[in-house]
Chains A and B, each alone.
Chain A
Amino acid sequence: MSNVKLTIDNKTIEVPQGTTIFKAAKQLNIEIPSLCYMNLEALSIEHKPAGCRICVVEVEGRRNLAPSCSTEVAEGMVVRTHNMRVLNARKTVMELILSDHPKECLSCAKSGNCDLQMLAQKLGIREIPDQDTVAMSTYRKDFSPSIIREMDKCIMCRRCETMCNDFQTVGALSAVNRGFDAVVAPAFEMDLQDSPCTYCGQCVAVCPTGALTETDHTNRLIADLSNPEKTVIVQTAPAVRAALGEEFGMEPGTSVTGEMATALRQLGFDYVFDTDFAADLTIMEEGSELLDRLTRHLSGDTSVKLPMLTSCCPGWVNFFEHQFPDMLDIPSTARSPQQMFGAIAKTYFADKIKVKREDMIVVSIMPCLAKKYECQRDEFKVDGNPDVDYSISTRELASLIKRANMDLSNMPKSDFDNPLGESTGAAVIFGVTGGVIEAAVRTAYEVQTGKTLERVEFEQLRGLEGIRQATIDFNGLPINIGIAHGLGNARKLLEDIRAGKSQFHAIEIMACPGGCIGGGGQPLHHGNAEILKKRTKAIFTEDEGKTLRKSHENPHIIKLYEEFLGKPLSHLAHSLLHTHYTTKSKKTIIIK
Chain B
Amino acid sequence: MSDYKIHVLVCGGTGCRASESDQVFDNLTSEIKNQGLDKFAKVVKTGCFGFCEKGPIVKFIPDNTFYTQVTPTDAIEIVEEHIVKGRKVERLLYKNPETEEYISDSKSMEFYKKQYRIALRNCGIIDPENIAEYIARDGYQALGKVLTEMTPEEVIKEIMASGLRGRGGGGFPTGLKWDITRKVQNDTKYVVCNADEGDPGAFMDRSILEGDPHSVIEAMAINAFCIGAKNGLVYIRAEYPLAIDRLKTAINQARECGLLGENILGTDFSFDIELRYGAGAFVCGEETALIHSMEGSRGEPTLKPPFPSVEGYLKKPTNVNNVETYANIPAIINKGAAWFSAIGTEKSKGTKVFALAGKINNVGLIEVPMGITLREVIFEIGGGIKNGKKFKAVQTGGPSGGCLTEKDLDTPIDYDNLIASGSMMGSGGMIVMDEDDCMVDVAKFFLEFTVEESCGKCAPCRIGNKRLHEILEKISEGKGTKEDLDRLVNLGNVIKDTSLCGLGQTSPNPILSTLKAFKGEYLAHVIDKKCPAGVCKSLMAYSIIEENCIGCTACARVCPVGAISGQRKELHTINTSLCIKCGACIDKCKFNAVIVN
Contacts and interface: CB of A to CB of B under 8 A. Distances in A.
B562 interface: no
A96 B303 contact: no
B457 interface: yes
A12 to B, nearest CB: 24
B500 A53 contact: yes
Contact of A179 (B456, B470, B494): B456
Contacts of A52: 458-459
Interface stretch (B53-61, B196-204, B461-469, B583-591): B461-469
Chain A interface extent, by class? 35 or more
A180 interface: yes
B482 interface: no
A111 interface: no
B454 A50 contact: no
B505 interface: yes
A142 B452 CA distance: 26
Nearest to B300: A175
B281 A89 contact: no
Nearest to A58: B497
A19 interface: no
Contacts of B497: 56, 64-65, 85, 89
B454 A92 contact: no
Contacts of A489: none
A174 interface: yes
Contacts, number: 108
Greatest chain A CB density within 10 A among B303, B452, B453 is at B303
Interface in B414-465: 451-460, 462-465
A177 B491 contact: no
A64 B453 contact: no
B448 to A, nearest CB: 11
Contacts of B467: 96, 99, 130, 134
Interface string A119-155: 0000000000110011100000000000000000001
Contact of B494 (A93, A100, A135): A93
Given A65-B497, A65-B498, A156 B474 contact: no
B303 A64 contact: no
B466 A179 contact: yes
B499 A180 contact: no
Contacts of B487: 129
A156 B305 CA distance: 22
A108 to B, nearest CB: 20
A96 B470 contact: no
Given A56-B498, A175-B456, A178-B456, A92 B490 contact: yes
Contact of A89 (B303, B457, B465, B494): B494
Contact of B305 (A72, A85, A175): A72
A85 B494 CA distance: 9
B298 interface: yes
A184 to B, nearest CB: 10
Contacts of B505: 64
B496 interface: yes
A135 B466 contact: yes
Nearest to B491: A92
B456 A156 contact: yes
A85 B498 CA distance: 11
Contact of B454 (A64, A85, A130, A180): A180
Interface string A49-78: 111111010000000110100111000000
Interface string A178-219: 111110000000000000000000000000000000000000
B470 A133 contact: yes
Given A50-B303, A179-B451, A156 B462 contact: yes
A56 B470 CA distance: 25
A178 B452 contact: yes
Interface in B289-307: 298, 300, 302-303, 305
Interface of A is mostly: loop
A498 to B, nearest CB: 23
A64 B493 CA distance: 10
Interface string A160-180: 000000000000001101111
Contacts of B455: 178-179, 182
Contacts of A178: 281, 452-456
B476 to A, nearest CB: 14
A177 to B, nearest CB: 7
A52 B456 CA distance: 11
A93 B498 contact: yes
B497 to A, nearest CB: 5
B498 A89 contact: yes
A42 interface: no
B507 to A, nearest CB: 11
Contacts of B464: 93, 96
Interface in B464-522: 464-467, 470-471, 474, 487, 490-491, 494, 496-500, 505
Contact of B463 (A100, A174, A175): A100
A418 interface: no
Contacts of B465: 179
A88 interface: yes
A180 B466 contact: yes
A161 to B, nearest CB: 10
Contact of B460 (A53, A133, A181): A53
Contact of B298 (A89, A133, A175): A175
A51 B494 contact: no
A50 B305 CA distance: 12
A418 to B, nearest CB: 55
A97 interface: yes
A497 B509 CA distance: 57
B470 A53 contact: no
A93 B303 CA distance: 18
B463 to A, nearest CB: 4
A515 B457 CA distance: 32
A85 B458 CA distance: 19
Contacts of B500: 50-51, 53, 67
Given A70-B303, A134-B470, A180-B466, A96 B459 contact: yes
B303 A71 contact: yes
Contacts of A156: 456-457, 459, 462
A56 B460 CA distance: 12
A49 B463 contact: no
A97 B490 contact: no
A93 B456 contact: no
Interface in A29-62: 49-54, 56
A552 B77 CA distance: 103
Contacts of B303: 50, 67, 70-71
B458 A179 contact: no
A64 B490 contact: no
A590 B16 CA distance: 52
Contacts of B452: 178-179
Greatest chain B CB density within 10 A among A65, A96, A100, A133 is at A96
A49 B458 CA distance: 9
Interface in A241-298: none
Contacts of A134: 466-467, 470
Contacts of A96: 459-460, 463-464, 467, 491
A179 B454 contact: yes
Contacts of B451: 179-180
B456 A181 contact: yes
Interface of B: 281, 298, 300, 302-303, 305, 451-460, 462-467, 470-471, 474, 487, 490-491, 494, 496-500, 505
Given A50-B500, A93-B460, A178-B456, 14 more contacts: A64-B499, A65-B498, A85-B497, A88-B494, A92-B491, A99-B463, A100-B463, A130-B467, A155-B459, A156-B457, A174-B298, A179-B466, A180-B463, A182-B456
26 contacts: A49-B302, A50-B303, A53-B460, A53-B500, A64-B499, A64-B505, A65-B497, A67-B303, A67-B500, A70-B303, A71-B303, A89-B498, A93-B460, A96-B459, A96-B463, A96-B467, A99-B463, A133-B470, A134-B470, A135-B470, A156-B459, A177-B456, A178-B454, A178-B455, A180-B462, A180-B466
